Amino acid sequence: MSDTWVIVGASRGIGLEFVRQLLHNGFHVIAGVRNLSKAEKLDEVKSQQAGPERCIIEQCDITDEQSIQGFADKVKEATRVNGLKVTNIVLNAGILHYPNRATEISFADFALHLHTNTIGPIICAQKLLDLNPDSPPSKVVFISSDSGSTTIFRDDEDGFGAYGASKAALNQMLRHMAAELTRKGGQWTRTRILAMHPGEVETDMANIDLGWEVHGSISAEESVRCMLKVISEKDETGSFWCWDGRVPGQMPSIEKSHESMTSKLIGRWKSREFK
């Protein structure tokens, strides 16, 4: 059986880069996209690889329960027909409608952040975990954000209220998922649940006019390359990591930090309150 990664939210940005690097590294990938007719970049990445048949693309709208169930059914069928084993799942889909301040946001926009960034990824992971109880995946990775860290409060992030809340709720729920699987015992204890902060990554999501300077931006290529290494190394279920292996909130080491991470970034880090 061929080791297979499931990437949800693979049409652009970080999700698309996960698919590109995994195919390049020889894995099979099942990629979930909200809209199959708007997945041209993914089609292109697939067609550029040696062995494009290693990439299966299916529809998955993370805000729609029926769509999530349909995706899980397609994953089950694809693994059966092609002799694949889902070893890793990455829940990457997310939105950031900027600004999303607590003092201004509408009920509908707050709900959309929670449906997309919290409820959808958790329910999707739950349905994918249920597919093969005898041999569950090794790693389920949620692409979170340090905006939702429960140990640091980023009060400098004006306009990130609903986004930060949705990622904080995601982090809490995935820790419960990890604890529940551990309590179930047996083969479930072999599944590790991880949360990852991908860094400040140059994608469509980051292409917004923020009220503060962002330092230390990295490419999707660097973010995913580093995250794949961290995912392969980290084994503590329910844990939360940055793309470079740090715990969110931990000071970057000078050697590891990027050239563009100036002393200004370190100053910003020092000025934060850590609880």
Ligand X SMILES: NC(=O)c1ccc[n+]([C@@H]2O[C@H](COP(=O)([O-])OP(=O)(O)OC[C@H]3O[C@@H](n4cnc5c(N)ncnc54)[C@H](OP(=O)(O)O)[C@@H]3O)[C@@H](O)[C@H]2O)c1
Residues that bind ligand X (CB under 6 A): 9, 11-15, 34-35, 60-63, 92-95, 116, 143, 145, 197-198, 200-201, 203-206
Tell me the closest approach of the beta carbon of residue 7 to ligand X, in angstroms: 9
Judge whether 179 and 172 are in contact, CB under 8 Å: no
Of the two residues 178 and 201, which places its CB atom closer to ligand X in the complex?
201
Per DSSP, the three-state class of 85 is: strand
Of the two residues 198 and 249, which places its CB atom closer to ligand X in the complex?
198
Of the two residues 34 and 54, which places its CB atom closer to ligand X in the complex?
34
All residues at 6 or more sequence positions from 274 whose CB lies less than 8 Å from its CB, including other chains: 151, 152, 249
Of the two residues 53 and 204, which places its CB atom closer to ligand X in the complex?
204
Tell me the closest approach of the beta carbon of residue 206 to ligand X, in angstroms: 4
Tell me the closest approach of the beta carbon of residue 143 to ligand X, in angstroms: 4
* φ, ψ (nearest 5 deg) of residue 164: -60, -40
Tell me the closest approach of the beta carbon of residue 198 to ligand X, in angstroms: 5
Of 148, 12, 211, nearest to 93 by C-alpha is: 12
Residue type, 84: L
Tell me the H-state helices in the chain.
Answer: 13-24, 40-48, 65-82, 107-114, 120-129, 161-184, 220-233, 263-271
Kindly state the DSSP code that residue 206 receives in the 8-state scheme: G
Q: CA-to-CA distance for 112 and 188, rounded, in angstroms?
A: 31
Tell me the closest approach of the beta carbon of residue 257 to ligand X, in angstroms: 17
Of the two residues 168 and 201, which places its CB atom closer to ligand X in the complex?
201
